[in-house]
């Protein structure tokens, strides 16, 4: 079978963008021989993300559930309660309650705590040759989420271990080993968060777990199962996206020294430049939807009952939306990176992730007079959904 696009192709990891360009030019509304549709143009993704005729409820799909351990497996049972995988009123209810942790005011209040965490990690990292991912980008977001929830930061490595395994649930190429690992991690993480909730009942505090236990909308509260499931989602969505935004963003800057110099001269550019970095090398490369009715696009109609891959990475490099899209330009106007989603499922934690990444990049440029890649042989993770490095070796001079 001669495939125009195969998400399992290992060359996608190193550089997916030539693949996306070929697909966008040859067949932008592409029906794969495997049955699903693949969309690569910004305008088409925008239509689907905002359409009332699409569903995110993949856990109800028998094939999707089977590949992840079956409909009654721990991970599928959990994802049925994730707001990411709910539609309509059920989605709005949980998002309304969870959203209280991510209002602009709540995120702004976190700035001093994030700054302190970044300073501590940079102090520990020091100078010379370092791995920016393991020493800063990986521990930071999980530290911030632990502090938000009121979890001991000493547990952050264990939480990150569980998170790495559970994050595989959205990968379209699940193996039996992946399914086994994510289900085992879900059981352990669930038990840990459940015990934390029990502690809050005995001794409430001012953390997000206590807030979620008490929060009401129209007299309705979240159940424990809903809180636990969406705390697991919070770790997964907040962690993966932020780590990759930091890592991919730093690589993009180091590979474009003119833009790095521009940012050193004008540090305030990071406020909008972070969106250009997210556009240029999207931390989230794709999302999926199921159509519940026919969806009309400019050049095609996607029938009801279809599975659709929304290629965020391709849309972020669509020349119809962004002129000269393969050029990194921190002064680019009107950047709206679709990598954070769109429509009712726009990433609730996007403001926090953008803040963390922009503060990390600013702190690095403040602290170090010279930042260089320690290798040209960058190794990218074999994950179809999330684009990120295994390691980011840098040479730092204060």
pLDDT tens sequence across 362-376: 999 999 999 999 998
| Tokens, residue 145 | 């989420």
Spatial separation of the C-alpha atoms in residues 333 and 56, rounded to whole Å: 31
121-138 pLDDT, tens digit per residue, is 999 999 999 999 999 999
The CATH number of the domain holding residue 242 is: 1.10.630.10
Spatial separation of the C-alpha atoms in residues 334 and 283, rounded to whole Å: 19
Is residue 3 assigned to a domain?
A: no
Of the candidates 53, 75, 289, the one whose C-alpha atom is nearest the C-alpha of residue 181 is 75
276-325 pLDDT, tens digit per residue, is 999 999 999 999 999 999 999 999 999 999 999 999 999 999 999 999 99
Q: Which pLDDT score, from 0 to 100, does residue 367 have?
A: 97
Is residue 23 assigned to a domain?
A: yes
Q: Are 146 and 156 in contact (CB under 8 A)?
A: yes
Instruction: Report how many domains make up the chain.
Output: 1
Q: Are 232 and 189 in contact (CB under 8 A)?
A: yes
- DSSP 8-state secondary structure symbol assigned to residue 37: E
Spatial separation of the C-alpha atoms in residues 110 and 332, rounded to whole Å: 28
Of the candidates 301, 292, 285, the one whose C-alpha atom is nearest the C-alpha of residue 386 is 285
Is residue 2 assigned to a domain?
A: no
Is residue 5 assigned to a domain?
A: no
Per-position DSSP letters for 101-165, written without gaps between them: GSSHHHHHHTHHHHHHHHHHHHHHH-SEEEEHIIIIITHHHHHHHHHHHT--GGGHHHHHHHHHH
Spatial separation of the C-alpha atoms in residues 204 and 201, rounded to whole Å: 6
Q: Both ends of the chain: CA-CA distance in Å?
A: 54
Q: pLDDT category, 172, cuts 50, 70, 90?
A: confident
Beta bridge partners of 379: none
CA of residue 83 relative to chain centroid, distance: 14
173-177, 247-251, 253-257: which has the minimum mean pLDDT? 173-177
Spatial separation of the C-alpha atoms in residues 368 and 361, rounded to whole Å: 11
174-218 pLDDT, tens digit per residue, is 899 999 999 999 999 999 999 999 999 999 988 889 988 887 767
Spatial separation of the C-alpha atoms in residues 246 and 153, rounded to whole Å: 21
10 Å Cβ neighbour count for 184? Answer: 15
Is pLDDT of 7 > 80?
no
Of the candidates 72, 78, 99, 60, the one whose C-alpha atom is nearest the C-alpha of residue 194 is 78
Of the candidates 242, 281, 278, the one whose C-alpha atom is nearest the C-alpha of residue 20 is 281
pLDDT over 90 percentage in the chain: 76
The range of the structural domain enclosing residue 146 comes to: 11-397
Q: Which pLDDT score, from 0 to 100, does residue 170 have?
A: 87
Helix (H/G/I), strand (E/B), else coil: 309: strand
Q: Are 249 and 392 in contact (CB under 8 A)?
A: no
Q: pLDDT category, 227, cuts 50, 70, 90?
A: very high
Q: CA 278 → CA 48, 293, 333, 394, distances in Å?
A: 21, 31, 14, 20
Is residue 300 assigned to a domain?
A: yes
Q: What's the pTM value of the predicted model, to 2 decimals?
A: 0.92
Q: Are 49 and 342 in contact (CB under 8 A)?
A: yes
Is pLDDT of 68 > 90?
yes
10 Å Cβ neighbour count for 215? Answer: 17
Is residue 371 assigned to a domain?
A: yes
| Tokens, residue 250 | 């730093």
């Amino acid at each position: 079978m001669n495939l125009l696009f195969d998400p399992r192709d290992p060359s996608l990891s190193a550089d997916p963008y030539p693949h996306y360009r070929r697909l966008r030019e040859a067949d932008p509304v592409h029906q794969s021989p495997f049955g699903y549709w693949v969309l690569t143009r910004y305008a088409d993704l925008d239509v689907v993300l905002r359409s009332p005729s699409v569903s995110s409820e993949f856990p109800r799909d028998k094939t999707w559930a089977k590949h992840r351990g079956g409909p009654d497996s721990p991970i599928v049972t959990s994802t049925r309660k994730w707001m990411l995988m709910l539609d309509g009123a059920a989605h709005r209810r949980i998002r309304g309650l969870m959203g209280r942790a991510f209002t602009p005011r709540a995120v702004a209040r976190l700035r001093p705590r994030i700054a302190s965490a970044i300073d501590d990690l940079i102090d520990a990292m020091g100078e010379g040759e370092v791995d920016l991912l393991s020493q800063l980008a990986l521990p930071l977001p999980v530290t911030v989420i632990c502090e938000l929830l009121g979890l001991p930061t000493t547990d952050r490595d264990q939480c990150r271990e569980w998170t790495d395994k559970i994050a595989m649930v959205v990968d379209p190429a699940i193996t039996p080993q992946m399914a086994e690992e994510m289900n085992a991690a879900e059981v352990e993480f669930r038990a840990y968060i459940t015990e934390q909730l029990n502690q809050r009942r005995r001794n409430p505090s001012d953390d997000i777990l206590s807030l979620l236990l008490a929060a009401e909308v129209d007299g309705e509260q979240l159940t424990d199962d809903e809180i636990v499931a969406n705390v697991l989602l919070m770790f997964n969505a907040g962690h993966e996206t932020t780590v990759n935004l930091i890592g991919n963003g730093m690589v993009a800057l180091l590979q474009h020294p003119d833009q790095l110099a521009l940012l050193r001269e004008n540090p305030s550019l990071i406020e909008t430049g972070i969106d250009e970095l997210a556009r240029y090398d999207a931390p989230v490369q794709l999302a999926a939807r199921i159509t519940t009715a026919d969806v009309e696009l400019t050049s095609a109609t996607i029938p009801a009952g279809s599975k659709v891959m929304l290629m965020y990475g391709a849309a972020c490099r669509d020349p119809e939306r962004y002129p000269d899209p393969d050029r990194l330009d921190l002064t680019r106007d009107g950047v709206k990176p679709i990598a954070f989603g769109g429509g009712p499922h726009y990433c609730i934690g996007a403001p926090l992730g953008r803040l963390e990444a922009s503060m990390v990049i600013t702190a690095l440029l403040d602290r170090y007079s010279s930042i260089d890649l320690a290798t040209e042989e960058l190794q990218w993770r074999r994950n179809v959904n999330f684009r990120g490095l295994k390691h980011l070796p840098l040479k730092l001079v204060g």
